[in-house]
Structure 1
């Protein structure tokens, strides 16, 4: 439901009123909070001042009594034993009359017998065991609050409250300056209560509060935390409060805290510190007032500020309403004039008589806009007339383009359907999206049956599906495109469940939004059969040649060694030639057999963690004889880390690789040259490797031969190479063996400066667990 539109005057009124209320309330809150905080600080400081005043009055009162008793202990008339007893007693009575809180004053001899006292009370009594008597002789002249013992029955009682006193006593001496006795005085504890009440009454009067309106309570707490004077419920109890602890530590201040009665109080605290000669008794003064009573003035001033703010907000809102109407009137007149233009009643927008500068500018802009709009309207009408013609022309162009696209699609589909290779389209999730006739013939499934099916469950043997899933994950996660645009040989299954070897080419086609895999497959079953027949033929011929060649080589070796007697030189030369040719034939047969075994997967490997340095030394020892005949020096170099060069390797196959590389290096080195072998362990970007390098000082490898150097039967076409001889299978066998170990072989060469071959094997520890290389890697689709 759409709300009715409001005028600008309404919005201005709401804005003025809202801002006024918000600002006034915020200001009132800020002022109230600041005033409240300041008032709270004043109230708290007032309680602290009350605690200080009470402590000071107590100290001054006790100091006065302390001085009076000390003077009495020095009054020679009073302490002289030979003076008239009545006169001496009159002195005590006069002192008691001057300060009515003296409950008892008396003199006792060194034996503790009271010699004389006020009103004759306790004269002759033994006070030797009383604390005030013993403390005075020990140099302690003031005793803390205690209940009366001997005087309890002699003094009048105004109620059930026990009589308590503070003791002040000084020793006096005789004419020879020796201790003669003690002058003691019991000061009624009601004196402290009078001090407390006088301070509280003064506080009530000074604050202007009516009696009972502000309930402040002062407590006098002893050094052990016992309430010596305070409310009836707390007197005599011990307080473990933060304020008491702070006062006992000699600090003065205030805080809010919860008391044992469960209520929260604002508390001011201080401590008596003595005055002049009076040392003080360490009383803590605590003045408390409930938070509710203490902060009554705070709440009152905050309410006053709030109501004042509310009144100001209402006043400013009314003023805002009047101001908004005044400001909105020219806009209303302008809107009415614009409405007349819209209805066609006028052609010009009038600004009104009392419009301000912005309204005048807006009226001018609207008039310019109206004029421009009329011109644009005519142009728009003309554009609409020509737009229909353009739309028709573009529609015909799109139809022609669409026809060309459809024709191109039919042409591409015809090419795919007529292709002799099977074609399969796959989306990026591996589901079949296209399937030509050749695919129907190869696999046995019709197009309608295959489209939409996952390619792994339809075409890939179960044992290869994990490798397929890994390849798909690698493509999606890392964009791995190693399998794209390459001819690969893979195994697939047809509808009957028969495995079919195929040659696969995978490409990535389509646009960015709709990429798909285009897969062409060619059946290579017949080719595989031919290759198998070729390998079987080569294997059979090689085996058949090996036996007679071995016999021929043995016979020629015996003739060359002189077992048949001395031979003529020309005959020995012919036998040496025949023996060398036989040796070459045996090597050729062995290399051919090795190639056949590796291609058929029949070559066995005994993988185990092995140190490479002993293997290299063993290979050098095996080639040392032929190197000496060629006048070539074999040098083994290695660093401190060569002992760490371990790899998972087959002993015999690695020896075969090293002997082959060393033999080639010796063969192509000039007489007097040097073949250098390095063994090291190194860390590279793709991991830790154990590396063997073999470098010669030969002529180098021609650049045109670099790409074919590891191919079967590949030899450089130079005359020097042909003179050296060779089968052209050695490096191909080395590459196959190294790659079967999970490593790689590479070379660097420079014309006239020799060639270096490098064999890298994954480094392992002496007893490390390593990947299982006993089986050929499983092919992936």
Structure 2
């Protein structure tokens, strides 16, 4: 016989889960309530007890100040008594006065008069009479104007006076010098105040609150030594946060951990003196163990936990009853749904006594069954056409794949047949692609180059670090300036030969799969031609300067009358020739300057200079040209223009200003004005040249600072010049670490602005 299969274990029903949920919710709420109550109670207890301890500390400090002030005033009055001041009075009479004073206040352990040499003349009980106390601090301090001393143990009186409660006697000294009847200082009246006075003050304030818990008071000296406190701490030096606050004259309380490892709630206050009594800088700390302080809160927490546990049991029972009421109609509904699952077509009919949700669920299941039957029929129809649709989609995908492959082959053919070298590089700098032209340019085959770092293949060693840094910045999102523009770079081939290429780079793809698409063109031959051209221009310009200088000097001598007075026509022609030679000299100088700048041979002598004399000199140099054009030159100096200083080469900066003024005069109509401005701005010095001309054509504005660029064309040019002045000016300004810019508007003139770092 075969054993019958074992029935699966019965799973928990909804009722059990609801009962468990009610129980857990009750426990969680109880714990949360206990936590909230405990936190609130702790805070309230800490605030209440802390303020009480702070108030006790303040009262203790105040009472110490009051007691010491009374003793201070009392002793200061004693020294005025005639009997004590009279050196001729009998010793017994003086002793009786001191005895009467000692009996009025029981904490005076010793009170006596000393002579100026420190010898004790008389004492209330005859103690230490005749003894020299000149070495004691209270005697020295009294003569020095310090009338109160801090707590110390008995020295000379240690053997004469018994200890207190098993401890050696300690005193607080109060001493004043006294004058004899002749008005001169005759000695010192000294009082040793028993430190037991301070302990009694502490007990009188702390004792009433001892029933609330172990409350301890500490009196601490200015140096942090415990003068009065628990036996384990007395005489020890402490440095707690509460003491630091008290020493800062800040009263209050805080919770802190002490060197014994216990946490205490500590009230703190400081003595501040009173009236004539200056105070000794004592601090008062009143502490209570946190465990004692929070004991009522702990008892409240235990009661709340017991109450919460009882509530959890009650709510669990109530949850079980409610769960049975909720799950009964759901169970009947589950049985009906199971019949439907076995194939029975009967509808679910809920009990009329069931709640609304069960009724709504029955209707939803009935509608779901109806929809399911309808969807089965639609699914059979869909399956009939699914195979045909799959075949159609497959054919479409194959056509699209063929188009993609053809497009890829076309792109590869274009790249391979391109005259320029093509290199694809990923964001790590590794070569992804390398066409035939790249093989010819660098000598590395495609198989050798792909997968290798580009920098190691084509860059000289000195440029590789900056290349890696640029790639790292691009990966961090900083971007790069080499994309979508033509730039020149020096590269090397396989044999180590360096040559110059022109590079165009673009970014292909998105995200982490993006790569750089780079085309390179060898321009080393073009560079050689440009260098030859530059050398030719420099040579010709330099050779032209010598005869031009002679021509210019000869014309100047003719104009000055060295050959006698010239006829008017000849003088006119001589003036024209002189102006033309000046223009030629300027053109040759501009050409030489631009060549020097390109070659990096332009010399600058930077020194801190005031800019006002440079601007004034440039204005004076351009007066003749402005007068010849009928243009008025003006200046607009800031009130503190004379303080505008920058590190400049004055000759080169004057060259910039004369170039700007020359341009402004050329484009300003007769009768209008050109204005030079000088002002200070934060961290910079600003020079401006403003004209009242027609403004710069918008189509020409992008080329203003290019070499040989002029606003009027060569075939329509009405104004002279080489088109190099602004290019030279821009190079000079940037060499000084400054910037040059302009603002213009049609019909409203143009303003060129030069800004230099202030020295």
Q: State the TM-score bracket (shorter-chain normalisation).
A: 0.5 to 0.7
Q: How far is 1:504 from its partner?
A: 1.3
CA distance in 1, matches of 2:753, 2:22: 87
Question: In the alignment, which of 14, 26, 30 is matched to residue 8 of structure 1?
Answer: 14
Q: How far is 1:537 from its partner?
A: 1.3
Aligned to 2:742: 747
Aligned to 2:116: none
CA distance in 2, matches of 1:19, 1:754: 82
CA distance in 2, matches of 1:595, 1:247: 94
CA distance in 1, matches of 2:568, 2:330: 132
Q: How far is 1:528 from its partner?
A: 0.6
- Report SS of the residue matched to 1:658: helix
Change (3 A) 1:663 1:347: same
Whether the 8 Å contact between 1:334 and 1:352 is mirrored in structure 2 is no
Aligned to 1:441: 440
CA distance in 2, matches of 1:379, 1:696: 85
Whether the 8 Å contact between 1:225 and 1:240 is mirrored in structure 2 is no
- Give CA-to-partner distance per residue, 1:347-406, whole Å, 9 cap, x none: 444547985654454334333322322222222232233333323322221222122112
Q: How far is 1:327 from its partner?
A: 5.0
Question: In the alignment, which of 700, 708, 728 is matched to residue 733 of structure 1?
Answer: 728
Aligned to 1:485: 484
CA distance in 1, matches of 2:610, 2:438: 52
Aligned to 1:257: 214
Q: How far is 1:679 from its partner?
A: 1.0
CA distance in 1, matches of 2:669, 2:26: 105
Aligned to 1:764: 758
- Report SS of the residue matched to 2:427: coil
Aligned to 1:529: 528
Say whether 1:453 aligns with 2:452: yes
Change (3 A) 1:17 1:529: closer
- Give CA-to-partner distance per residue, 1:694-722, whole Å, 9 cap, x none: 12344544555444443333334389984
Aligned to 1:211: none
- Report SS of the residue matched to 2:212: strand
Whether the 8 Å contact between 1:243 and 1:255 is mirrored in structure 2 is no
CA distance in 2, matches of 1:673, 1:375: 93
Aligned to 1:392: 391
Whether the 8 Å contact between 1:679 and 1:691 is mirrored in structure 2 is yes
Q: How far is 1:475 from its partner?
A: 4.0
- Report SS of the residue matched to 2:604: coil
Worse-superposed segment, 437-446 or 313-322? 313-322
Q: How far is 1:525 from its partner?
A: 0.8
Aligned to 1:651: 650
Whether the 8 Å contact between 2:687 and 2:755 is mirrored in structure 1 is yes
Whether the 8 Å contact between 1:748 and 1:755 is mirrored in structure 2 is yes
1:95-134 maps to which residues of 2 (within 5 A)? none
Change (3 A) 1:347 1:699: closer
- Give CA-to-partner distance per residue, 1:553-577, whole Å, 9 cap, x none: 2233323322233433333333333
CA distance in 1, matches of 2:305, 2:555: 127
Aligned to 1:571: 570
Q: How far is 1:529 from its partner?
A: 0.9
* Structure 1: gaps (5+ residues): 34-134, 140-223, 227-236, 263-290, 766-781
Aligned to 2:706: 711
CA distance in 2, matches of 1:559, 1:401: 87
Change (3 A) 1:730 1:343: same
Change (3 A) 1:732 1:26: closer
1:346-745 maps to which residues of 2 (within 5 A)? 347-349=346-348, 351=350, 358-472=357-471, 475-477=474-476, 479-512=478-511, 514-628=513-627, 630=629, 632-670=631-669, 673-683=672-682, 688-717=683-712, 722-745=717-740
Change (3 A) 1:480 1:643: farther
- Report SS of the residue matched to 2:377: helix
Change (3 A) 1:743 1:382: same
* Structure 2: gaps (5+ residues): 1-7, 39-99, 105-163, 167-195, 217-229, 233-290
Change (3 A) 1:458 1:316: closer
Whether the 8 Å contact between 1:609 and 1:764 is mirrored in structure 2 is no
- Report SS of the residue matched to 1:714: coil
TM-score by length of 1: 0.58
Q: How far is 1:22 from its partner?
A: 7.7
CA distance in 2, matches of 1:319, 1:588: 107
- Report SS of the residue matched to 1:599: helix
- Give CA-to-partner distance per residue, 1:167-221, whole Å, 9 cap, x none: xxxxxxxxxxxxxxxxxxxxxxxxxxxxxxxxxxxxxxxxxxxxxxxxxxxxxxx
- Report SS of the residue matched to 2:513: coil
- Report SS of the residue matched to 1:640: coil
CA distance in 2, matches of 1:349, 1:670: 101
Q: How far is 1:15 from its partner?
A: 4.2
Aligned residues: 530
1:177-256 maps to which residues of 2 (within 5 A)? 245-246=204-205, 254-256=211-213
CA distance in 2, matches of 1:520, 1:371: 67
Whether the 8 Å contact between 1:433 and 1:452 is mirrored in structure 2 is yes
Whether the 8 Å contact between 1:637 and 1:676 is mirrored in structure 2 is yes
- Report SS of the residue matched to 2:213: strand
CA distance in 2, matches of 1:689, 1:567: 52
Aligned to 1:184: none
- Give CA-to-partner distance per residue, 1:470-499, whole Å, 9 cap, x none: 544554556445432111122122222222
Q: How far is 1:743 from its partner?
A: 3.0
Aligned to 2:236: none
Aligned to 1:342: 341
